[in-house]
């Protein structure tokens, strides 16, 4: 992220260190929302099934509306879109905290959760888009590929760190203050830090790739090119893996009467994945993005085989550690390819498409894996992450074949 030549500034110099601090904290509310909603609903309403549906409603809202927020940011700039989202999302979180504690119908709770997801500020994709645009427009050509790879590494590591720390913070706040506390804190952080992220000088920028009337020179149909869609499918597979592995792991630990420790074990994968994601920036350029996807996707499949055959906590920890080696670099590679293949003037749209792919995959896999564990047992459920990993690897092979066809 800081590769420089003696005559050119680094990305950190172009944005300023405060940018990265603000952007990191601004992601935290999103990481707290799904788990926070689940926690307060289960605690207050006493229904695990309603809690699961409510969490899914947040994910559905984000997945359906997120790409449109990205398109709006591409058209009118990130600042007005983020300011509107920060205000609405903060308000919706506060409303949800009140609704759960009142004797309203479950449908109202679900609708309120949907609005939380629909108004969720797309900080991660917009940060990626913002930084990629700065790299493309303000850095010398020889630096761009290396800096983009380093930036995607950092962004992915930041996401994974937040998504490990977010649920932990929810647990602390709910345990020591009250079930509503994580939602209230998320509401305040959204207003303060997403607002600061929007108002940062880099948020003023509207891509020079836009025409004078604000339209992108590229057609909407360019978003559906096979070379870009295969990346969306691949990252959807990563989402499927996240949802299936966490749910299956919870079932596995529940069988051992230690369901509450599932999050700790899952952290083994999250920490390893974040560390390896950062390490991608130092891989040699001759180790191409196409090859990285296949190699690390293969490691993900190998770890998933071990996951599916684990019978003890020790073997499960080893499986999760191996999976972490594969998943982090694969995500970085997919985002790097998405950035490289974004049509002119549509980088925020592409980044939110990729982010939504992860969210949709998680929601679908969590629901399917939970139902499988309940009906067919844990042994059937822990095979599902392997299917998700296979989708990631197959998409990587398809990506390689498509790239060969275009050369």
- Residue carrying the six token digits 């869609």: 229
Are 173 and 31 spatial neighbours (Cβ–Cβ below 8 Å)? no
Closest Cα partner for 293 from 387, 230, 223?
Answer: 230
CA 250/CA 242 separation, integer angstroms = 12
Burial of 141 (0-12, 13-18, 19+ CB in 10 A): exposed
31 or 407: which leads in pLDDT: 31
Per-residue confidence (pLDDT) for residue 356, from 0 to 100: 82
Per-residue confidence (pLDDT) for residue 193, from 0 to 100: 94
Domains 15-208 and 216-407 share a fold: yes
pLDDT in tens, 329-383: 898 899 889 878 877 767 778 888 888 888 788 878 877 887 888 788 889 999 9
CA 194/CA 113 separation, integer angstroms = 19
CA 379/CA 384 separation, integer angstroms = 10
CB neighbourhood size of 223 (10 A): 20
Q: Which residues contact 125 (CB under 8 A, 6 or more apart)?
A: 66, 70, 348, 351, 352, 354, 355
CA 153/CA 275 separation, integer angstroms = 9
* Mean predicted confidence (pLDDT) in 116-129: 88
* Mean predicted confidence (pLDDT) in 1-19: 69
52 or 378: which leads in pLDDT: 378
Token pair, residue 13, equals 């110099």
CB neighbourhood size of 12 (10 A): 13
CA 337/CA 400 separation, integer angstroms = 12
Name the residue ranges covered by the structural domains of the chain.
15-208, 216-407
Q: Which residues contact 258 (CB under 8 A, 6 or more apart)?
A: none
3-state class of 288 per DSSP? coil
CA 293/CA 20 separation, integer angstroms = 27
Alpha helices in 283-346 (DSSP H): 289-308, 313-340
* Mean predicted confidence (pLDDT) in 83-102: 93
* Mean predicted confidence (pLDDT) in 23-33: 87
pTM of the model: 0.79
Q: Percent of the chain having pLDDT more than 90?
A: 30
Q: What is the CATH number of domain 216-407?
A: 1.20.1250.20
Structurally, what CATH architecture does the domain formed by 15-208 represent?
Up-down Bundle (1.20)
For the cut 50, the answer to whether the pLDDT of residue 7 exceeds it is yes
């Amino acid at each position: 992220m800081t590769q420089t030549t003696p005559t050119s500034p680094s990305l950190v110099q172009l944005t300023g260190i405060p940018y990265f601090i603000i952007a990191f904290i601004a992601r935290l509310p999103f990481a707290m929302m799904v788990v926070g909603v689940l926690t307060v609903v289960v605690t207050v309403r006493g229904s695990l099934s309603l809690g699961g549906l409510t969490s899914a409603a947040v994910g559905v809202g984000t997945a359906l509306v997120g790409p449109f927020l990205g398109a709006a940011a591409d058209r009118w700039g990130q600042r007005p879109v983020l300011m509107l989202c920060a205000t609405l999302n903060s308000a919706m979180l506060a409303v949800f905290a009140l609704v759960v504690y009142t004797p309203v119908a479950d449908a109202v709770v679900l609708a309120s959760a949907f609005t939380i997801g629909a108004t969720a500020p797309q900080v991660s994709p917009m940060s990626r888009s913002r930084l990629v645009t700065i790299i493309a427009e303000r850095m010398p050509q020889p630096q761009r590929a290396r800096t983009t790879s380093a930036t995607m590494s950092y962004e992915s590591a930041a996401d994974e760190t937040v998504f490990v720390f977010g649920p932990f913070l929810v647990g602390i706040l709910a345990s020591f203050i009250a079930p509503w506390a994580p939602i209230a804190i998320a509401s305040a952080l959204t207003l303060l830090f997403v607002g600061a992220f929007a108002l940062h000088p880099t948020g003023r920028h509207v891509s020079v790739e836009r025409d004078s009337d604000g339209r992108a020179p590229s057609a909407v149909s360019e978003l559906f090119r096979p070379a870009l869609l295969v990346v969306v499918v691949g990252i959807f597979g990563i989402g499927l893996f996240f949802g299936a592995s966490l749910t299956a792991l919870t079932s596995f630990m529940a069988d051992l009467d230690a369901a509450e420790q599932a999050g700790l074990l899952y952290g083994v994968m999250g920490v390893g994945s974040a560390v390896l994601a950062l390490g991608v920036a130092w891989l040699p350029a001759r180790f191409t993005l196409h090859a990285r996807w296949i190699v690390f996707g293969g490691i993900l499949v190998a770890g998933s085989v071990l996951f599916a055959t684990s019978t003890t906590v020790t073997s499960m920890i080893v499986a999760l550690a191996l999976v972490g080696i594969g998943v982090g670099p694969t995500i970085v590679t997919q985002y790097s390819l998405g950035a490289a293949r974004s049509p002119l003037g549509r980088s925020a749209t592409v980044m939110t498409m990729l982010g939504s792919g992860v969210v949709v995959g998680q929601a679908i896999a969590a629901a399917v894996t939970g139902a499988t564990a309940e009906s067919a047992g844990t042994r059937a459920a822990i095979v599902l992450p392997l299917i998700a990993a296979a989708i990631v690897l197959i998409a990587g092979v398809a990506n390689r074949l498509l790239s060969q066809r275009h050369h």
